[in-house]
Amino acid sequence: MKLTKDLLWTGLITFFLCVGASCENKREEIDMPSLDLSKEHLIPIPSKMVASGSSFRLDQFTRIVTQGDDERLEEVASFLAEKISQKAGIRPEVNPESGKEGDPVIFFRQQGGTSWPNREAYRLSIFKDSMVLEAPSAEAAFRGVQTIRQLIPEVSNDTLAAHPIWPVASGTVEDYPNFGFRGSMLDVARHFFSVEDVKKYIDLLAYYKINVLHLHLTDDQGWRIEIKAWPKLTEVGGSTEVGGEAGGFFTQDDYKDIVAYANAHFMTIIPEVDMPGHTNAASVSYPFLDGTGKPLKLYEGTRVGFSTFDTRKDTVYAFLDDVVREISAITPGPYFHIGGDESHSTEKDDYIYFVNKVEKIVQKYGKTMIGWDEIAQADVDPSSIAQFWADAENATTAVEKGMKVILSPAKKAYLDMQYDTLSKHGLHWAAYIPVDTAYIWNPETYLPNIPKDRILGVEAPLWSETISNMQELEYLAFPRAIGYAELSWSLEENRDWEDFRVRLANQTPYLQMMDVAYYPSPRIDWVKPPEKSREIIKD
Ligand code: TNX
């Protein structure tokens, strides 16, 4: 049944490519090598793979053809063409006018229907002369494209034909994510990171099918997002950072640029404005916001819990209305994160009053509220989401209130925890998290009393008290973020540390190509990337 369908598609593709073109001069038959798809080093590991023992010929004659009404399908095809060109130096044409029979084709076929396991599911069928990526949408096809990228070898084979060929193992991949929410968080408040830095982080995460980037935009040490109605937030509040360096902030245009870049990677940006605690930078900029009554000055240290908004002042909520409105207007994603953690200087009843009021503001601007797990103590709406980081009781309370939970257990998923006592950067208040500890846990059973359908997904936060540049960021995030990608995408029955270890060891060519300063954990037998065999010849 399956085979017949595949044959039909290969025939259809050939027909499509021959229309309007000369199909007479068939190319020489190239004997493609036998490759084993099941031995490829894919991360996250797909739901199902069946190898067929041959290989697809990727070369300078390869074209990409799309079929479907999702207007972004061709954009996804062009994304793949661009990535192939960066890796191999050949750029497949997308939807060319014509093609020659026998030339290899990568076919993107949008297929609706309800038989897909979920929204991001895709099927990739790889034959000798064609590769067929079937998916219900451009978004799902984008996830499949990451699989294709990972299957393309680093170096070409120069002996199969007169021109270089990148053989891709043949067979079928049927894949879908276990969780629809697969995220990381970047703290740009403790130390500021530039638009370019954030874009590189997006590139790296998207390659491993992560689809959410949560930006921690404000904290005691810095306010990093322009609010037009309140310019001092960034002029004053954005002027420093931990250690006293210059700080910085995103203009609204910068933020839009990040959002657009994330969108091009089918990634949702979640903005966080942390409150009512973690608000020193805001209160120094506009002292009427302050609820501590203590002298205010810019803060360059790393303590937490000393600041709070004045939760009983109407002007504070008028201010927050502007902030939530302006940020929501430039955030296409459905979420607004209000922080809500470690408000040690806010009285409990003030805290509850505050979260209740801010939830209404967030809803007024059409967003779903997310907060760190403490927000479950307020009278939160079931549509709001709690992000578990430390207190299992709060997570249970959230679920009792009908809320969904994002899992970010500090002991397992905090990217800012040191790997071990020798780690150059990071903290260890929650744990030391070596690469295996980060991988070996099950999000579905980590917390008792939380059924799977209450878990939105997994997010690995990267707090930035101890990191101030991209190399340091990469040292903490990689390779662990790659493990979290697998933990949130792949099914538990397919996850295995020993197997992951080997696949992770083989990420070196990609990490090296991307110039990632990853932590070379001694628990991984890192593979030395192959040398490029010769200059790539373009036709
Ligand atoms: C706790 S996790 C915090 C952050 C710190 C982090 C450092 C959370 C919601 N709050 O303010 O940066 O620990 O690991």
Whole-number Cα distances in Å, 351 to 277, 324, 361, 376, 535: 9, 18, 15, 11, 63
Question: Of ligand 1's atoms, which has the minimum distance to the CA of residue 387?
Answer: 9
The tokens describing 174, both together, are 């049927």
Helix segments in 89-187, DSSP class H: 138-151
pLDDT at 529: 80
Q: How far apart are the C-alpha atoms of 517 and 509, rounded to whole Å?
A: 13
Q: Which of 391, 463, 467, 476 to mutate to test the pocket of ligand 1 (most atoms within 8 A of CB)?
A: 463
Cα–Cα distances in angstroms (integers) from residue 252 to residues 197, 222, 368, in the given order: 17, 16, 21
The DSSP call for residue 474 is H
Cβ-contact 282, 218 below 8 angstroms? yes
Reduce the DSSP state of residue 7 to 3 states and report it: helix
User: Rounded to an integer, what distance in angstroms lies between the CA atom of residue 154 and that of residue 40?
Assistant: 13
Torsion of CA 301, 270, 390, 401, to 10 degrees: 140
Quote the ligand 1 centre to 465 CA distance (angstroms).
Answer: 9
Residues belonging to the active site: 342
What span, in angstroms and rounded, lies between the C-alpha atoms of 251 and 325? 15
pLDDT value for 27: 56
Ligand 1 neighbours (beta carbon < 6 A): 304, 341-342, 372, 389, 414, 416, 427, 463, 465
Distance from the CA of 41 to the center of ligand 1, in angstroms?
34
Q: What is the pLDDT of residue 532?
A: 57
For residue 28, the model assigns a pLDDT of 65
Closest protein CA for atom 4 of ligand 1: 463
In order along its 539 residues, the chain shows pLDDT tens digits of 344 444 455 445 544 444 434 444 445 678 999 999 999 999 999 999 999 999 999 999 999 999 999 999 999 999 999 999 999 999 999 999 988 888 999 999 999 988 999 999 999 999 999 999 999 999 999 999 999 999 999 999 999 999 999 999 999 999 999 999 999 999 999 999 999 999 999 999 999 999 999 999 999 999 999 999 999 999 999 999 999 999 999 999 999 999 999 999 999 999 999 999 999 999 999 999 999 999 999 999 999 999 999 999 999 999 999 999 999 999 999 999 999 999 999 999 999 999 999 999 999 999 999 999 999 999 999 999 999 999 999 999 999 999 999 999 999 999 999 999 999 999 999 999 999 999 999 999 999 989 999 999 999 999 999 999 999 999 999 999 999 999 999 999 999 999 999 999 999 999 999 999 999 999 999 999 877 544 443 33
Name the residue with the closest Cα to ligand 1, atom 13: 463
For residue 177, say if its preceding peptide bond is cis, omega within 30 degrees of 0: no
Dihedral sign for Cα 43, 509, 107, 30, please: negative
DSSP secondary structure of 317-337: HHHHHHHHHHHHHT--SSEEE
Q: How far apart are CA 33 and CA 129, in angstroms?
A: 13
